[in-house]
Amino acid sequence: MTNNLVTTAFTLDGYRITKSLGLVRGIVVRSRSIFGTIGAGLQTIVGGNITLLSELCEKTREHAFELMCQHADQMGANAIIGVRYDATEVMQSVTEVLCYGTAVYVEPER
């Protein structure tokens, strides 16, 4: 599956959906290390973007996205529509990131 066939929209320009295969998701539960927590705490003193946490969040979202795409591949999809992210704090310093959408099979419009 190519990333250009993964969208937050419910249609793909130039393609028609021929089959809806259902919900797909990627779930990652991640905690901050003590070193990351201390480093982020030090960055808050200076202010601005807390790069340690930004990088952790970006990597976690990317991992959840990859898992969602793998799930869609296993279902025989070649595209995913309606992609969304959700995050929930499971316990202190532990966050679940969910990436989900609808797996579909698309064909180019003629």
Host domain of residue 86? 3-30+62-108
91 inside domain:
yes
Q: Is the pLDDT of residue 108 over 90?
A: yes
In the predicted model, is pLDDT for residue 2 greater than 60?
A: yes
Say if residues 31 and 63 touch (Cβ distance below 8 Å).
Answer: no
Q: What is the CATH number of the domain that holds 8?
A: 3.30.110.70
- Give the per-residue pLDDT at 48: 60
Among 106, 95, 108, smallest CA distance to 27 is for: 95
User: Is residue 50 situated within a structural domain?
Assistant: no
Of the pLDDT bands very low, low, confident and very high (cuts 50, 70, 90), residue 32 is low
Q: How far is CA 51 from CA 10, 36, 43, 44, in A?
A: 33, 10, 8, 10
CA distance 6 to 65: 10
